[in-house]
Structure 1
Amino acid sequence: MATLFRWLLRLTTALLILALVGILLARHLAVRSLPEYDKTRPTAGITADIEIVRDNNAVPHIMALSDRDAFFGLGYVHAQDRLWQMMLLRRTAQGRLSEIFGAKTVRTDTLLRRLDLYPLSVASVAHQDPRTLDALEAYAAGVNARISEINAEALGRGAPEFFLFDSSLAPWQPADSIAIVKLMALQLTGHIGDEVLRARTSLMLDDDTRLSDILPDIPGEAIAALPEYAALFPDSPLPRYAESTPPDPFLPAVPPRGLSGASNAWAAAPERSAARGTLLANDPHLGLTAPSIWYLARMQLQSGGVIGGTIPGIPAIMVGRSEHIAFGLTSSYLDDQDLHIEKLNPDNPEEVLTPEGYKPFRTRKSIVDIKDEAPITITLRFTENGPVLPGSQFDLETITPPGHVVSLNWTALSAEDTSISAAVGLMMAQDVSEAIEVSRAYVAPSQNLTVIDDTTVAMKLVGQMPRRDPNHQSKGRLPSPGWIAENRWQGNLPYSQNPEFLAPRGGIVGNTNNKIVDRPFPEHVSFEWGDSQRIQRWKTLMQGRKVHTRDSFIEAQLDTVSPAARTLLPLIGRDLWYTTEAAPEGTPERRRQQALALLAEWNGEMNEHMPEPLIYAAWLRALQERLIRDNLGPLADEYTHVEPLFIERVFRNIDGAAWWCDVIRSAKIESCSDIARLALDDALVWIDETYGTQLEALRWGDAHVAIHRHPVLGDIPIVRTFVNIRQNTSGGDFTLLRGRTAGTGSEPFANVHAAGYRGVYDFADPDSSVFIMSTGQSGHPLSRHYDDLGQLWRRGEYIPMSLDIDLARAAASGITRLVKP
């Protein structure tokens, strides 16, 4: 027995030593990939020496004597800090994730192959203007210089993830950057999902007039009545409900409905500024990841210095300021996508019906290589309206009649996409008028560009607006028969018809993804908008001051008051606030009274330290569930977020919307107050089960946790502890400090979509401008700059945004000199 014990002890000791050696070796290899910021390196491909000064937040200030060398430097620093992220974005756009991740990304790859984004990007290279083509080539050379350095000096393959997933580092190409712009366009538009959900809901509802309740139009001029979806296909019966396809759990190419692009931006002219200089605030909203999609950088161009937020892989500062202008972006919600139901020839399924009769698909084979499995070959099919999409994506199979397929028309599916030229030109613009003019080249994603110079503020919708026939059957709100000429696009509207607000009399412009114009179809821009609530609070804050300052713009950017809460609570609780006597302690009635007492004194502020936001959010979520589940059945699962306009319509009984309150499967006729009371009880039971029973001790921040998840390693036990970043946050779905909640899963109120970048620019004192991002500059989990900016972001703090190179040098964390050999 003693001998056995000694051998077991020796074996255990040996295993522990081997494990320790393995851990130390892995750490050594991982540390090798940490970039060194303080060095001098001979570098081929540059025309003169480049100096890259990293300030104490690791923001690179790229000083070069030519624009070409400045873009080279940007490519180099992107590859230093975010090489894995860049390669992952490129593989996603190419439809080549399965080569390293196996079968679990095949759906994503096949979707991207069918959209044909990468070949369209390759074709678009030749259509860029000369300065942009030069920038693309120089940027690619900078990325490749870093890759060559990694290979030559054995720098840990450039990032720890490359040891876990065997991925070759192919040279960067100009088309790769254009492909990432197209990928961002895919993630920023959500009209496909809106059309499908509207069609599915139309099929479920017996009374189609109720469609305008659950999917309400933003208040404004009424639109013409739409047909029922089933009426568009009288010869092809559709089921009332077909089960949804589960979403891709790993690296989906398209975010869930409700989690596409958003953002805030507002600007003040000199007459509305206390210091008599123009002001601009901007915070683009995207899915939270670790690292963030944003990367802060400064470039010295021949047109002057420019500083702000970049996206690794794209050679441009997308939001920020130069010496002459400041510019911000918000999602415009332009309806730039249409789904078409294409009728197959019953005698030849390789032909599709057109206004001129049946015509063959345009087809091409594509091979998807899959790690550890045999490759698969798919046939890409294209109609005159666009690529044919698989029924397993976007729940298309639930709304596709037998004998039909679905195609997509989308402005981003252009082989002449010059959006990157617009982004490069914008950085170099000298004033507002030039910024608007160079943005003519934007194709997709469509954005609202807010721009200022020393004297002028303006907002312009940029991106191509599709030209639709006034007789379009569904006005682009539902999938429509693709063989009917009136449903087909007729090119694009001229840029002059894109909404523009130049030097308004009130001196202030702004956008919170709200409805910006009230024009009749087909010049309407969109029927679906991203906000009907934040805009109310923004108007109050902007009109509450005669003049504004940088600090008042910051205050608005960080505002946590929910106008939805202020509007809805008096409606849903009007018959519940007061009772004749206190209920016995420990009863559901007593709990309800305690919750209502807290909410009665609440001002709607979604502060992380308060219990009221959690009680309110849980109540509204349970209320919408009770209102729609009875009528929509399992389709109610697709309505993951509360729609305030729907709740308001119901409780004000607009056009008979109180119909939703009665439970059709019960003999009793329920009132809206009955449903509100039952929903509050539901919410309190859920809170008890999840957080405990002391209502006063609840904290909204415990539920509204900002989850910055590593897109690949974030779900791996133990590892996720080191690569994911979790922070309790204030704000909510409808506050200016917007933190869009997940809506589903075990953490339905987790903050998963927010302002990963914030910037406030003051032209009265440009170097007092500030910015921040939600994680850190580095994508390397072992770097101190992986999450160092995250706590500042969470607390609503900023870092200086100066073009003064001496300030950067004074507290530099390193200076890299790329010298000509």
Structure 2
Amino acid sequence: MNLIFRWLMRLSATLVVVIVLGVAMVYYLASRSLPEYDKVLDLPYLTAPVEIVRDNANVPHIFGQADTDVFYALGYAHAQDRLWQMTMLRRTAQGRLSEIFGTATVEIDKLIRRLDIYALAGASVEAQDARTNLMLRAYATGVNARLDEINTSALGRGAPEMFIFNAPVSAWRPSDSLAIVKLMGLQLSGHLNHEVLRAQMSLAVPDPARLADILPDNPGSGLTALPEYSQIVPGVQRFAETLPRDDHPLSPFKARAFAGASNVWAAAPSRSASGGTLLANDPHLGFTAPSIWYLARLQLQSGSVIGATIPGMPVVLSGRSEALGWGLTSAGLDDQDVYIEQVNPENPEEYRTPDGFKTFEKRGSIINIKDQAPITITLRWTENGPVLPGTQYNLASITPPGHVAALAWTVLSPKDTTMSAAMRLMEAKSVHEGMTAIEGYIAPAQNLMLVDRKEIAMKMIGAMPRRDARHQSQGRLPSPGWIEANRWQGRLPYASNPEFIAPNGGILGNTNNKTVDRPFPNHVSFDWGDTQRVQRWQRLMQAREVHTRDSFIEAQLDTVSFTARSLLPLIGAELWFTGEAAPEGTPLRQRQRALTLLAEWSGEMNEHLPEPLIYAAWLRSLQDRMVRDELGPLARELTHVEPLFIERAFRDVDGAAVWCDVIQSALVESCADMARLALDDALIWIEESWGSALESLRWGDAHQATHDHPALGDVPLLRYFVNIRQSTNGGDNTLQRGLTRGTGPAPFENVHGAAYRGVYDFADPDSSVFITSTGQSGHFLSRHYDDMAQLWRRGEYIPMSLDEELARAAAVGVTVLRPLR
């Protein structure tokens, strides 16, 4: 017995030693790739020494004698901190994820290949101006200098993920940076989804007049009635099945609700307490760890610029110089059209055009798959754009037999000068210069807010498709591609893009709300991104005669839901304080407790309160009950509550209250009935998920921000090291926007919001502030991986200063890059 015990002890000790050695070895290999910030390097292709001074938040301040050296150093810094992220963005744009992740990402690669994003980016290199091409080459050379250093110095392959996935990294090229621009356009464009969903709804809703309820137009002038989709595209099946969406964390194809959003606003000197202009900007994208944003300061010959960059792209997308500040929001421009192309029944290699049948342009593309045989797909194009498979975007559900769907999209330009325009913007010294500099910007369409020391302005930037006034669907529904009137006729001139310069009121802003109401075809869009946040923003801006940097921060962090304050009185009108007190422990008593809490609630979506969770669950259950019987499986496409739909129904606008009646039941249910039933549903769900003690609920427990690592976030044990989870304020329709997941067992997780916030004060530029949601480093062993996360959660910022002495005073390291002699 003693012998057995001794051997068990020896085996246990050996096992512990092996585990400890294994962990130590893994840590050693992973830590080898941690960047060293205090060093001197001799590198080729530099013209003079350049310094990368990293302040105490690890923001690089890059000082050089030539702009090419500065962009070289930016490429080096990006690769130091975000190499894995950069290579994944590039692989995504190339359609080469499956070489690393196997069959799980094949469908992503297929669709990316069909869009041909990477080839179009390569073709666009020649379209850039000479200076931009020079800077792109310098940036790529800096990235490659870091890759060479990793290889020669055995720096752990540059990132821990490189060991796990054994992903070879090729040299960086200028076309790679242009491909990432197009990839961002893919994440920010949602009109393809809108068109398909509108067509599906047109086929599914029994009464065509009800389409305006479930997919309402933004408030403004009315739209002339559109024909039913089946009238535009005969032969399409009614009530076609919708396919479940593949939400792979590495997929750039986002659901309709996640197609990009942002806030930006500015104050002229007349509305500023200090007499200087103010600008606040917080772009909204899906949360990841690390954040997509990377803060940097560049000392250019034209002057310093500081702000938010995206690793892989050598431009400051939101930021400021000494003279000019700029910020962005998604413009909502309708820059995508789906075309239904008729295949020649006599020859499947041809499709119908206004001039008869023509041959598809075709090319084969090989997709290599890890541990599997490669597959070859055939890419096809029509005159309108690439042909997309019916399995994507639910296109099969709206495409009749004998037809295919093609996509026209401004991002798919082989002469895309967006990068050159962004480069020129960084050199501008005034609002006027900035608006002129950005003219060559193509996609993704944005509202660009500009402020100099005296003036504010907003200009929509991006190519606007020129549509024929006779277009059958006005771009709102897929249309036959062989009808000339449906086809694009080039693009509108830059001068026709909406602009707002020096408004009399001294305040400009955009929350993705409707900006203009011009008649088709000179319109911008029929589908905008916001009807709710703008209401709260207007109230906050009008509440003060003059604003300060701190009042702009206060607005940026505001968590009061206009939606809750406007809808709750409607849906609870016949439920508030009615009936006698019910016995304790009954469903009726629970409903009364919930209604009492909501009746006394201000609408603030604070993480510590129970009311936001009760409200959100009630609205979600209410919309689901209202649409499920009419839409069936299509109801799952409505992942988030549409406030205008709820309001139309409860106000019975044009008979919209009919949505409250359950078609299958013999009774005629009222909207009050539906509200009561939905509240009971919500309380049952809350009890099953969070418990029955309503007063003890916390919105923040359900509304956790999910900064997850796209590749390692689901790996057992490792996910606790790479994911960043935080209890957060806000909601779908608050200015501090925290868009919820909308589906699955955790529908209220915060998955999309302002991963970057900046407030720029031109009365005292160095008092400007900014922040990202995670940290500067993409290395999960680095202290800079998540050192900004808690600051961001608490609504705090770090200095956004161009003071060189301040940057050097508390630097975490200074890297000197010297020309190789």
User: Scaled by the length of structure 1, what TM-score is found?
Assistant: 0.99
Taking the aligned partners of 1:249 and 1:42, their CA distance within structure 2 comes to 42
Which amino acid in structure 2 is aligned with residue 613 of structure 1? P
| 1:381 match | 380
Taking the aligned partners of 2:725 and 2:626, their CA distance within structure 1 comes to 33
| 1:95 match | 95
| 1:225 match | 225
| C-alpha deviation, 1:246, in angstroms | 3.7
Aligned pairs for 1:23-42 (under 5 A) are 23-42=23-42
Aligned pairs for 1:181-220 (under 5 A) are 181-220=181-220
| 2:437 match | 438
| 1:163 match | 163
Which amino acid in structure 2 is aligned with residue 161 of structure 1? E
| C-alpha deviation, 1:543, in angstroms | 0.9
Q: 328-337 or 164-173, which moves further after superposition?
A: 164-173
Answering whether residue 282 of structure 2 is matched by residue 317 of structure 1, we say: no
| C-alpha deviation, 1:3, in angstroms | 4.2
Taking the aligned partners of 1:614 and 1:554, their CA distance within structure 2 comes to 25
| C-alpha deviation, 1:241, in angstroms | 2.5
Report the secondary structure of 2:380's partner residue.
Answer: strand
| C-alpha deviation, 1:5, in angstroms | 4.4
Aligned partners of 1:189 and 1:261 also within 8 Å? yes
| C-alpha deviation, 1:14, in angstroms | 2.5
Aligned partners of 1:104 and 1:250 also within 8 Å? no
| 1:551 match | 550
Aligned partners of 2:125 and 2:133 also within 8 Å? yes
Taking the aligned partners of 1:133 and 1:783, their CA distance within structure 2 comes to 33
Taking the aligned partners of 2:179 and 2:66, their CA distance within structure 1 comes to 26
Report the secondary structure of 2:258's partner residue.
Answer: coil
| 2:738 match | 739
Aligned pairs for 1:650-665 (under 5 A) are 650-665=649-664
Taking the aligned partners of 1:56 and 1:685, their CA distance within structure 2 comes to 49
Report the secondary structure of 1:317's partner residue.
Answer: coil
| C-alpha deviation, 1:15, in angstroms | 2.8
Q: Deviations over 1:655-706 (max 9, x none)?
A: 0000001111111110100000000000000110111111111111111100
Aligned partners of 1:58 and 1:813 also within 8 Å? yes
Answering whether residue 487 of structure 2 is matched by residue 488 of structure 1, we say: yes
| 1:240 match | 239
Report the secondary structure of 1:308's partner residue.
Answer: strand
| 2:532 match | 533
Which amino acid in structure 2 is aligned with residue 59 of structure 1? V
Aligned pairs for 1:694-773 (under 5 A) are 694-773=693-772
Q: Deviations over 1:142-173 (max 9, x none)?
A: 00000001111000000000001111120000
Answering whether residue 79 of structure 2 is matched by residue 70 of structure 1, we say: no
Which amino acid in structure 2 is aligned with residue 178 of structure 1? L
| C-alpha deviation, 1:242, in angstroms | 1.2
Q: Deviations over 1:507-553 (max 9, x none)?
A: 11100000000001111100000000000011111111111100000
| 2:341 match | 342
Taking the aligned partners of 2:248 and 2:176, their CA distance within structure 1 comes to 25
Report the secondary structure of 2:262's partner residue.
Answer: strand
| 1:637 match | 636
| C-alpha deviation, 1:17, in angstroms | 1.9
Q: Deviations over 1:89-146 (max 9, x none)?
A: 0000000111111111110111111000001101100110111111100000000000
| 1:628 match | 627
Aligned pairs for 1:297-376 (under 5 A) are 297-376=296-375
Taking the aligned partners of 2:113 and 2:756, their CA distance within structure 1 comes to 31
Aligned partners of 1:308 and 1:319 also within 8 Å? yes
| 2:615 match | 616
Aligned partners of 1:758 and 1:773 also within 8 Å? yes
Which amino acid in structure 2 is aligned with residue 30 of structure 1? A
Which amino acid in structure 2 is aligned with residue 18 of structure 1? V
Taking the aligned partners of 1:640 and 1:230, their CA distance within structure 2 comes to 25
Report the secondary structure of 2:349's partner residue.
Answer: strand
Q: How many residue pairs end up in the alignment?
A: 820
Answering whether residue 473 of structure 2 is matched by residue 466 of structure 1, we say: no
Taking the aligned partners of 2:159 and 2:285, their CA distance within structure 1 comes to 24
Report the secondary structure of 2:83's partner residue.
Answer: helix
Q: Deviations over 1:403-438 (max 9, x none)?
A: 110000000100000101111111111111111111
Aligned partners of 2:241 and 2:633 also within 8 Å? no
Taking the aligned partners of 1:705 and 1:260, their CA distance within structure 2 comes to 20
Report the secondary structure of 1:405's partner residue.
Answer: strand
| C-alpha deviation, 1:390, in angstroms | 1.2
Taking the aligned partners of 1:248 and 1:793, their CA distance within structure 2 comes to 26
Which amino acid in structure 2 is aligned with residue 463 of structure 1? G
| C-alpha deviation, 1:252, in angstroms | 1.3
Which amino acid in structure 2 is aligned with residue 215 of structure 1? L
Taking the aligned partners of 1:316 and 1:671, their CA distance within structure 2 comes to 55
| C-alpha deviation, 1:204, in angstroms | 0.7
| 2:588 match | 589
| 1:519 match | 518
User: Scaled by the length of structure 2, what TM-score is found?
Assistant: 0.99
- The 3 A distance-change label for structure 1 pair 641 and 248 is closer
Quote the RMSD (CA, aligned, Å).
Answer: 0.9
Aligned partners of 1:107 and 1:248 also within 8 Å? no
Q: Deviations over 1:267-325 (max 9, x none)?
A: 01111100000000000000000000000000000010100000000001110101110
Which amino acid in structure 2 is aligned with residue 692 of structure 1? G
Give the % identical residues. Answer: 66
Which amino acid in structure 2 is aligned with residue 556 of structure 1? A
Q: 747-756 or 240-249, which moves further after superposition?
A: 240-249
| 1:570 match | 569
Q: Deviations over 1:12-40 (max 9, x none)?
A: 33233222211111100110100001111
Aligned partners of 1:705 and 1:727 also within 8 Å? yes
Q: Deviations over 1:608-651 (max 9, x none)?
A: 11111111000000000000001111111110000000000000
Aligned partners of 1:687 and 1:693 also within 8 Å? yes
Taking the aligned partners of 2:51 and 2:191, their CA distance within structure 1 comes to 44
Aligned partners of 2:236 and 2:398 also within 8 Å? no
Taking the aligned partners of 1:560 and 1:273, their CA distance within structure 2 comes to 23
Aligned partners of 1:566 and 1:603 also within 8 Å? yes
Aligned partners of 1:268 and 1:509 also within 8 Å? yes
- The 3 A distance-change label for structure 1 pair 571 and 245 is closer
Q: Deviations over 1:713-744 (max 9, x none)?
A: 00111111110000000000100000000000
Taking the aligned partners of 2:353 and 2:404, their CA distance within structure 1 comes to 13
Which amino acid in structure 2 is aligned with residue 252 of structure 1? S
Q: Deviations over 1:472-505 (max 9, x none)?
A: 1111111111111111000000000000001111
| 2:52 match | 52
Taking the aligned partners of 1:250 and 1:704, their CA distance within structure 2 comes to 19
| C-alpha deviation, 1:248, in angstroms | 4.3
Answering whether residue 396 of structure 2 is matched by residue 397 of structure 1, we say: yes
| C-alpha deviation, 1:334, in angstroms | 0.2
Answering whether residue 12 of structure 2 is matched by residue 12 of structure 1, we say: yes
| 2:809 match | 810
Report the secondary structure of 1:17's partner residue.
Answer: helix
Report the secondary structure of 2:404's partner residue.
Answer: strand
Report the secondary structure of 1:816's partner residue.
Answer: strand
5+ residue gaps, structure 2, are none
Taking the aligned partners of 2:555 and 2:252, their CA distance within structure 1 comes to 33
Aligned partners of 1:105 and 1:250 also within 8 Å? no
Taking the aligned partners of 1:359 and 1:248, their CA distance within structure 2 comes to 36
| 1:273 match | 272
Aligned partners of 1:265 and 1:280 also within 8 Å? yes
Aligned partners of 1:706 and 1:750 also within 8 Å? yes
Which amino acid in structure 2 is aligned with residue 114 of structure 1? R
| 2:131 match | 131
Aligned partners of 2:702 and 2:749 also within 8 Å? yes
Taking the aligned partners of 1:560 and 1:465, their CA distance within structure 2 comes to 34
Aligned partners of 1:245 and 1:393 also within 8 Å? no
| C-alpha deviation, 1:250, in angstroms | 4.5
Answering whether residue 37 of structure 2 is matched by residue 43 of structure 1, we say: no
Aligned partners of 2:236 and 2:399 also within 8 Å? no
| C-alpha deviation, 1:9, in angstroms | 3.6
Aligned partners of 2:277 and 2:454 also within 8 Å? yes
